[in-house]
A and B are shown apart, each in its own frame.
Chain A
Amino acid sequence: MKTSLHEIGRFDDRMSFLYVDRAIIRHTSNAIAIHEFDGVTDVPISSIATLMLGPGTKITHEAIKALADNNCLVIWAGEFGIRFYACGMGGSRHSRNLLRQAALALDERTRLQVVVRMYLRRFADDAIDPEITLQQLRGKEGFRVRQAYADASKATGVPWDGRNYARKDWYAGDPVNRALSAANACLYGLVHAAIISAGYSPAIGFIHTGKQLSFVYDIADLYKVELTIPLAFEMAGRHTQNMEREIRTEARRRFHRAKLLQQILPDIRHCLDVKAEEQDEFADDPALPAGLWEPESFTSETPIGQILGLHHGDDAA
């Protein structure tokens, strides 16, 4: 039987992520366990937001079923969890948020409002003059990001020549760019899980557009200056052997300190101007049939010829 959403952990009460590589993940006695060559570890999947599967992992069909049932997002990632390959399904069973997000994105005026709210979210409210233009606001944001790189470089002594990374060869990148990619990957995974858990689409972006993860980039950008940029420079400055692993450990610590998991969903609601969390009427019974759509401007008695724009005589040939 499917688990009721009420009895499993809410997204914002969960631990952020668990990265596993070179192991077999199996469903054993109603739970998930990680089987490694020297032992077995049970995984509290209802208390974890994202399970990141790295190279060398095998997972059984039953395990995926239990993970989906418990609203734990599964992400297939590259070595060190830094590249995103694919993901499973998250928790929400209603489509209300997705439809609202799509409606906002398809209307130019409401989309712009979301874009402006996303930029404003980065600045203290009183710092913004309502007379400012979108172009000036974008300039302000660009300056804020460049300043964050410069400040982090100065604070850590790690030189900064701009963001560049060799997409084909991970080790070709300089340490700070690798650290940035690794830290941002943790952030993307978490933001992605948050978006899916509340039933939004990762693809329908507002500032970003054209990719399946556009909305993930939109939301993750809210946190990079405070969280991942300083983290990446500090870790790159330490020159540790196992940098990517230490970044994940430190990212977990800082995301927790910043209460990131508790913040993502309210921030999304703020940007999309959604007033409050609404009930998921499918939480107890995912198989509950949903209603049928009723159009407002036509009634169910409207002839279909009129709906399709066909008029008597038009198609006579």
Chain B
Amino acid sequence: MMVLILHKIRPGVRGRLTRWLIQPQSNVYVGHPSARIREVIWKHICDEIDTRGGSAVLIHTDPSEQGYRIATRGETPKTTRDFDGLILPKAAKAR
């Protein structure tokens, strides 16, 4: 299972995603592709963000204790904080 949340990504890139993932709500993509396909999708998204901006959060199932992993790319409002293998999202302090 994977969930992808996009922000400020071009429509063309989003369109390609719907080949593997469903979009139950705008900006949110859900699916259950193989790990290989998931990596291809994520690499594609990361390349896009690195060259044209925008941001993404990827959450996918993982055999760890937590059961899933979180990855972020670009300027997301929350970063991740690793507590000895337990990954929790961290929001920058409000000023």
A positions within 8 Å CB-CB of B: 15-16, 18-20, 35-44, 48, 245, 248-250, 252-253, 255-256
Q: Are A15 and B89 in contact (CB under 8 A)?
A: no
Q: Are A39 and B90 in contact (CB under 8 A)?
A: yes
Q: Is B13 an interface residue (CB 8 A)?
A: no
Q: Which residue of chain B lies nearest to A39 when distances are taken between CB atoms in the complex?
A: B90
Known: A16-B65, A40-B90. 19 other contacts (CB 8 A): A15-B86, A18-B83, A35-B93, A38-B92, A39-B79, A39-B91, A39-B93, A40-B94, A41-B81, A41-B89, A41-B90, A41-B91, A42-B89, A48-B86, A248-B84, A252-B84, A252-B86, A253-B65, A255-B65
Q: Is B88 an interface residue (CB 8 A)?
A: yes
Q: Which residue of chain A lies nearest to B79 when distances are taken between CB atoms in the complex?
A: A39
B positions within 8 Å CB-CB of A: 64-66, 79, 81, 83-86, 88-94
Main secondary structure on A side of the interface with B? strand
Q: Are A19 and B83 in contact (CB under 8 A)?
A: yes
Rounded to whole Å, the gap between the CB of B51 and the closest CB of chain A is 28
- 9 residue pairs of the A-B complex, CB under 8 angstroms, read A16-B65, A19-B83, A35-B93, A38-B92, A39-B81, A39-B93, A245-B84, A249-B84, A252-B65
Q: How far is the CA of A229 from the CA of B73 in the complex (A)?
A: 38
Q: Are A40 and B65 in contact (CB under 8 A)?
A: no
Q: How far is the CA of A39 from the CA of B78 in the complex (A)?
A: 9
Rounded to whole Å, the gap between the CB of A20 and the closest CB of chain B is 7
Q: Are A19 and B84 in contact (CB under 8 A)?
A: yes
Q: Are A15 and B84 in contact (CB under 8 A)?
A: no
Rounded to whole Å, the gap between the CB of B88 and the closest CB of chain A is 5
Rounded to whole Å, the gap between the CB of B83 and the closest CB of chain A is 5
Q: Are B81 and A256 in contact (CB under 8 A)?
A: no
Q: Are B64 and A253 in contact (CB under 8 A)?
A: yes
Q: Which residue of chain B lies nearest to A254 when distances are taken between CB atoms in the complex?
A: B65
Contact partners of B84 in chain A: CB under 8 A: 18-19, 245, 248-249, 252
Q: How far is the CA of A105 from the CA of B64 in the complex (A)?
A: 38
Q: How far is the CA of A178 from the CA of B92 in the complex (A)?
A: 35
Rounded to whole Å, the gap between the CB of B73 and the closest CB of chain A is 18
Rounded to whole Å, the gap between the CB of B36 and the closest CB of chain A is 23
Q: How far is the CA of A39 from the CA of B90 in the complex (A)?
A: 6
Q: How far is the CA of A15 from the CA of B66 in the complex (A)?
A: 6
Contact partners of A39 in chain B: CB under 8 A: 79, 81, 90-93
